[in-house]
Amino acid sequence: MGKQITALFTLLLLALAAPAQQVDFDLEMQRCGLVDVQTLDKDIGVELKYATEDNFVGKNMYGNLKRAYLLPHFARKVVQAQAILRTLHPDYSLLIYDAARPISVQRQMRKAVEGTPYTAYVADGTRGGRHNYGVAVDLTIVDGEGVPLEMGAGFDDFTRKAWVGEDKAFSLAEYKAYVERLRREGLISDRAARNRTLLLEIMDKVGLRPYVKEWWHYQEKISMSATRERYKLLDF
């Protein structure tokens, strides 16, 4: 797996010598009716990984974009999750790693992984995935010092350690059982299992479920086809 990941990084560096951002992503997000999550709750942290080099691509793909945008109803779900978390753990807070994503960025990501085993992790650049409709969020939990809790695998980890279930897992009980399975197998620690389960429980309470291969990714409990019918693609 280590050699595969190294080869992937090499591919990414070669494939993604993309031109600098020309579109004002903030303006376009607002034109599409999305809201800045921090205008609803300033205590929710934002550290957009694709606006840094700390991601599987290894480069900034968002240019000057620093805010996390989502469709209003979805943003309210994240705010509700923050409130539940604060009730349980007053010192904890949510930290958003990614939110709405322009389809132009999605195309660059997909191009980088074409022909590799990692295409399952990156939606295609034609119709896009849930991030490209403003109804998906990547996030974690931080402590009172702003330090992310141990989750057993980092953001953009492509190994099984980052999973929370098999492809057909759809219930909170199944997700929790899978996390426990990873713990028993020694793939993640007891603490990571507790933290990952906490995030699962909180997001489930507001009606969101994870993508089974990414502990950090949450979305609505509807199909991708329904998502495309209901929402507008962020076509910029």
pLDDT value at residue 1: 53
Q: Give 19's pLDDT tier (boundaries 50, 70, 90).
A: very low
Q: Where are the domains of the chain?
A: 2-222
**Residue 103, both tokens:** 């389809």
Q: Pick one of 3.40.190.10, 3.40.50.2000, 3.40.30.10, 3.30.1380.10 as the CATH number of 2-222.
A: 3.30.1380.10
Q: Which pLDDT band, with edges at 50, 70 and 90, does 151 fall under?
A: very high
Q: What is the pLDDT of residues 70-99, one digit of tens each?
A: 999 999 999 999 999 999 999 999 999 999
What pLDDT score does 57 carry? 86
Mean pLDDT of the chain: 91
What are the structure tokens assigned to 110, written together? 């997909």
Q: What is the pTM of this model?
A: 0.90
Q: In what order do the strands lie in the sheet with 208-211?
A: 45-46, 93-98, 136-142, 214-220, 208-211
